[in-house]
């Protein structure tokens, strides 16, 4: 078995001595850790093919136009089917630092530094590339996450420039919203027709209402970051998705995946990874998460650890 296909299975019952004897009979769900990726940033479950797609930024600077990005395909049992299913320089593909990914119809959308790239979701063949205007020049773009609504309108975040772009059905990209009020949007979510996001530079969950007003609908508990030189309130929120009426959010600072009930008052931790507080120079970096709803699983790419972690979820 190669390191690319190395799979560590960690039974949920390990460490509970009283249950060791009966654990196999109880068929406890397992956490699966898949290693061998190169800076994985986003994951999504393709229910039609029953595969997990993982974007790999590649080694080096995530903002660089360095042509070393690729997309992997992983089976639900944790086996890497194709590490470099879609790869820069192969079959006319360009991928520099692919991050957010989204499925819409027969297409796979990929946010890639300064371009939205669209592929055939079944074959991986490139379909079209959409370049973005840069109203922030000379600062470069840093496209991060992408979602597509039922009307075929794509929303793409740029967390370094504090902006969200849209791409219409004619493949025209334009600036949708920008400014400090957005809080550095990172992970995006289409929440019952509204566009929502988490703030990378704070601990907030924001949303644009039907009337066009930007509101803060949730704030995660602050962590003490004074010892690692971050501004108060910084949580570096990244991934954002929905599960059974709750919201799931990841934080690089605390290393946690939070589950937030829709009242916004009940918050729990459903997964814990190495945090920036524990290891400021190299936290695990839980990034753009997704859910396998068929199996009640949370899918977590660990940006710095080079892993995909598959975590059982409870209702």
Reported as a pLDDT band with limits 50, 70 and 90, residue 247 is very high
Classify 182 as helix, strand or coil. Answer: helix
**82 pairs with which residues across the strands?**
73
d(CA 297, CA 301): 13
Classify 126 as helix, strand or coil. Answer: strand
For the stretch 81-122, pLDDT in tens is 999 999 999 999 999 999 999 999 999 999 999 999 999 999
Whether 2 has a pLDDT exceeding 80, the answer reads no
DSSP 251-309: ETTT-EEEEEETTSS-EEEEEE---TTT-TT----B-B-EEETTTTEEEEEETTTTEEE
| 226-254 mean pLDDT | 94
Whether 9 has a pLDDT exceeding 60, the answer reads no
| 177-203 mean pLDDT | 92
Whether 180 has a pLDDT exceeding 70, the answer reads yes
Structure tokens at 132: 């973005």
Q: How many CB atoms lie within 10 A of CB 312?
A: 16
Whether 11 has a pLDDT exceeding 50, the answer reads no
Whether 263 has a pLDDT exceeding 70, the answer reads no
* pLDDT number for residue 13: 33
Closest CA to 178 of 187, 197, 196, 165: 165
d(CA 271, CA 69): 27
Reported as a pLDDT band with limits 50, 70 and 90, residue 12 is very low
Reported as a pLDDT band with limits 50, 70 and 90, residue 24 is very low
Reported as a pLDDT band with limits 50, 70 and 90, residue 20 is very low
d(CA 290, CA 75): 15
Whether 288 has a pLDDT exceeding 60, the answer reads yes
Reported as a pLDDT band with limits 50, 70 and 90, residue 22 is very low
| 246-274 mean pLDDT | 92
| 230-253 mean pLDDT | 94
Domain locations in the chain? 3-312
CATH 2.130.10.10 fits 3-312, yes or no: yes
Name every residue whose Cβ is closer than 8 Å to that of residue 128 and which is 6 or more positions away in sequence. 117, 118, 171
Long-range contacts of 244-249 (CB under 8 A, 24+ apart): 244/313, 244/315, 247/189, 247/205, 247/218, 248/289, 248/291, 248/298, 249/187, 249/198, 249/205, 249/220
Whether 200 has a pLDDT exceeding 70, the answer reads yes
d(CA 304, CA 166): 29
pTM above 0.85, yes or no: yes
**191 pairs with which residues across the strands?**
194
Cβ atoms of residues 197 and 240 within 8 Å: yes
| 291-312 mean pLDDT | 98
Name every residue whose Cβ is closer than 8 Å to that of residue 59 and which is 6 or more positions away in sequence. 38, 39, 68
* pLDDT number for residue 264: 62
Percent share of the chain, pLDDT over 90 = 81
Structure tokens at 247: 């919201």
Cβ atoms of residues 310 and 79 within 8 Å: no
Tokens 């639900």 belong to residue = 76
Whether 299 has a pLDDT exceeding 80, the answer reads yes
Closest CA to 241 of 194, 311, 188, 182: 188
Reported as a pLDDT band with limits 50, 70 and 90, residue 14 is very low
* pLDDT number for residue 192: 78
**164 pairs with which residues across the strands?**
157, 177
* Stronger pLDDT, 255 or 23, i.e. the higher one: 255
Closest CA to 140 of 251, 57, 26, 64: 64
Reported as a pLDDT band with limits 50, 70 and 90, residue 28 is low
For the stretch 128-173, pLDDT in tens is 999 999 999 999 999 999 999 999 999 999 999 999 999 999 999 9
d(CA 102, CA 222): 30
Burial 188-204 (b: 16+ CB within 10 A, else e): bbbbeeebbbbbbbbbb
* Stronger pLDDT, 194 or 44, i.e. the higher one: 44
């Amino acid at each position: 078995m190669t390191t690319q296909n190395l799979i560590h299975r960690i039974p949920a019952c390990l460490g509970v001595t009283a249950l060791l004897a009966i654990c196999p009979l109880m068929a406890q769900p397992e956490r699966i850790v898949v290693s061998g990726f190169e800076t994985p940033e986003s994951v999504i479950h393709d229910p039609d093919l029953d595969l997990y797609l993982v974007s790999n930024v590649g080694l080096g600077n995530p903002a660089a136009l360095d042509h070393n990005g690729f997309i992997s395909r992983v089976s639900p049992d944790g086996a890497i089917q194709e590490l470099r299913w879609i790869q820069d320089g192969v079959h006319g593909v360009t991928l520099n630092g692919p991050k957010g990914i989204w499925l819409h119809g027969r297409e796979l959308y990929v946010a890639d530094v300064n371009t939205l790239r669209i592929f055939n979701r079944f074959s991986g063949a490139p379909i079209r590339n959409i370049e973005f205007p840069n109203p922030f020049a000379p600062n470069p773009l840093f496209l991060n996450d992408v979602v597509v609504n039922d009307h075929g309108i794509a929303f793409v975040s740029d967390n370094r420039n504090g902006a969200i772009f849209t791409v219409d059905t004619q493949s025209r990209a334009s600036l949708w919203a920008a400014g400090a009020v957005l809080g550095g949007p990172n992970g995006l979510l289409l929440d019952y027709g509204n566009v929502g996001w988490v703030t990378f530079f704070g601990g907030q969950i924001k949303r644009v209402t039907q009337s066009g007003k930007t509101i803060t609908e949730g704030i995660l508990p602050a962590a003490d970051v004074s010892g690692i030189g971050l501004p108060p309130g910084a949580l570096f929120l990244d991934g954002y998705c929905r599960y059974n009426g709750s919201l799931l959010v990841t934080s690089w600072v605390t290393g946690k995946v939070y589950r937030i009930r829709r009242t916004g008052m009940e918050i729990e931790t459903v997964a814990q990874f190495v945090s920036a507080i524990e290891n400021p120079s190299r936290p695990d970096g839980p990034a753009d998460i997704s859910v396998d709803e068929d199996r009640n699983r949370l899918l977590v790419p660990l940006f710095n650890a080079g892993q995909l972690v598959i975590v059982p979820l409870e209702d």
